[in-house]
Amino acid sequence: MQVYGLIGNPVGHSLSPPMHEAGYGSLGIDARYVTFEPAPDDAAEAIEGAGALGVAGLNVTVPFKQDALEAVDPAPLAERIGAVNTVDFAPVREGDADRPRGHNTDAAGVKRAFSHHDVEIDGRDAVVVGAGGAGRAAAFALADAGAAVHVANRTAERAVELAEAVPGATGAGLDDLGDRVAAADVLVNATSVGMDDPDATPVPAEHLHGDLAVLDAVYAPIETRLLREAADAGATTVDGAWMLLFQGVEAFEIWTGADAPVEAMNAALRAELE
């Protein structure tokens, strides 16, 4: 039996175990998905320990995504983003590498979530609100797919710093966010606004419009105020569970080499959310 897992602190709220185990069950793979909660400064030790125990692959969540870079051989995209959320031990065990390979599947989660909703990215103007981990993944994902990306963040310096790393991107504070969104084709909320306060939204409703596609990375609640008001404006809406699903799907496929059973994994994820 293969064992896959997740390291984070905390991890008790994670929806990954039922999602991944539904995938294993659907394909008849003899595997389990477990969680580990090491101390906040023990990312490298936790990854090394998991490998020594025979774990086949790990997902990595807060606060370990950046620290994990030092414990793995990062794939080019993970290195560019500056964070790892998926670790594959197969290269080490097959003698092809000295350290496990580190990936960032959050970027794939963004691209595949939009693709699933038939949203074209190439050649479009995109606004990413937030310059943290999710914002970095979204900005690189959209730029690599051919979008012109603008990063907006409460702290303008962080937006500019991220934009300098993303090909062709611009960055600024929130002062002109409304005008940016009004002229955009794609919007990603990569902040936690709307999670703790369901009446909060990162973008006022008057700037949303029917030619916009909106992805909100928040998945609890599943329908945020931003998504409700975007739908009222006629926009295409993509809830955060799709991003969560497809980053997990990408990890599943890296580990197993099989096409992930997306419908089974999505059903399990949404059952947990409900």
Catalytic residues: 65
Distance separating alpha carbons of residues 56 and 149, to the nearest angstrom: 36
Which tokens hold the place of 160? Answer: 């500019």
Amino acid letter, 20: H
Quick one: which of 163, 229, 162 has its CA closest to 194? 229
Q: CA 250, 254, 259 angle in degrees (round to 5)?
A: 70
Distance separating alpha carbons of residues 54 and 14, to the nearest angstrom: 22
Amino acid letter, 135: G
Dmax over CA atoms of the chain, in Å, equals 57
Distance separating alpha carbons of residues 265 and 42, to the nearest angstrom: 30
Tell me the residue ranges of DSSP E strands in the chain. 2-7, 31-36, 57-60, 73-74, 86-88, 101-103, 125-129, 148-152, 170-172, 186-189, 213-216, 236-238
Q: Which residues pair with 196 in a beta bridge?
A: none
Report which DSSP code applies to 266.
Answer: H
